[in-house]
Structure 1
């Protein structure tokens, strides 16, 4: 679907320079002289590189629709993560480095959304928050103020996270998967 350069919004995926790009930020500029343009910060969906580009209102770009499908995480084998389409039971294998460091948050049976373009996976979305158990946490140092100090703790999946002083080993907490931060103590 063709759209004008001034219609590009953050989150849009466009085809540009023979590659797929997602618009991260856009800024409509109306200079005193000359025509208006849209200053767009783009991120390449295939290799992660960034690009700043100007699109005039008269230019057209190809807006790409990504197919989104839910898959269930089954297991990891030899560096490959195996997912299953819950409707067709077809399996999909993705390399661990495709998912990146967030692969540590995958749990058996977890539902993820895989984005693909022309049958080729280009992105994956994990649930926003997961519940994990603390395996080790530093003891509280007396005299520390609660408001200013967080302490390091190790999660059951081997990821380090900063937690408030009152959290101890064996407790379950909720962690934000996008920026790997403590959200709150999980309810028992």
Structure 2
């Protein structure tokens, strides 16, 4: 589906210079002289390159629709992650860097959504929040005010997050996967 260059929004997947790109940031600019344009920061979904491109209103780009499929995370094998198609039970091996930092939050048996372009995996979406256990938390510093004083803690997956002073080692908490931040204490 063709769209105008100024209609690109963050999160849109477009075909540009023979590659598949995701619009990360956009900025609409209207200079004093000349026509308005859209400054778009693109990220290549195949090799991870970034590119800044100006699109004028007269230019059109091809918007790409990705297929989504339910998969289940099985295990890590070296720098590869193994997922299983929940419909066909077929296993797919993907490199860890396709997911990036959120890969640390993968748990055995976790349901994920895989985005595919022409049957080829492009990205993996994890749940927004997961439960994790604190394995190490710093002691509370006496005299610190309770308002907005957070302390560092390490989760069972090795990720470091800032938590409120009342959270201790062994506590189960809910963590935002993409922001890597404390949300609340787990029930």
Aligned to 1:40: 40
The alpha-carbon deviation at position 7 of structure 1 amounts to 2.1
Aligned to 1:62: 62
1:17-166 alignment runs, 5 A limit: 17-166=17-166
The alpha-carbon deviation at position 57 of structure 1 amounts to 2.0
Alignment RMSD, CA only?
1.7
Unaligned runs of 5+ in 2: none
Q: Distance in 1 between matches of 2:31 and 2:153?
A: 52
Q: Normalising by the residue count of structure 2, what TM-score does the alignment of the two structures yield? A: 0.90
Q: Distance in 1 between matches of 2:11 and 2:100?
A: 21
Aligned to 2:5: 5
The alpha-carbon deviation at position 108 of structure 1 amounts to 1.7
What SS class does the counterpart of residue 100 from structure 2 fall into?
A: helix
Q: Distance in 2 between matches of 1:162 and 1:25?
A: 27
What SS class does the counterpart of residue 104 from structure 1 fall into?
A: helix
Unaligned runs of 5+ in 1: none
Aligned to 2:170: 170
Q: Normalising by the residue count of structure 1, what TM-score does the alignment of the two structures yield? A: 0.90
Which consecutive segments of 4 or more residues in structure 1 shift more than 6 A? none
How many residue pairs are counted as aligned between the two chains? 187
Single out whichever of 3-12 and 67-76 deviates more from structure 2.
3-12
What SS class does the counterpart of residue 127 from structure 1 fall into?
A: coil
Relative to structure 1, the CA distance from residue 142 to residue 92 in structure 2 (aligned partners, 3 Å threshold; closer, same or farther) is same
What SS class does the counterpart of residue 103 from structure 1 fall into?
A: helix
The alpha-carbon deviation at position 176 of structure 1 amounts to 0.7
The alpha-carbon deviation at position 183 of structure 1 amounts to 0.8
Single out whichever of 29-38 and 9-18 deviates more from structure 2.
29-38
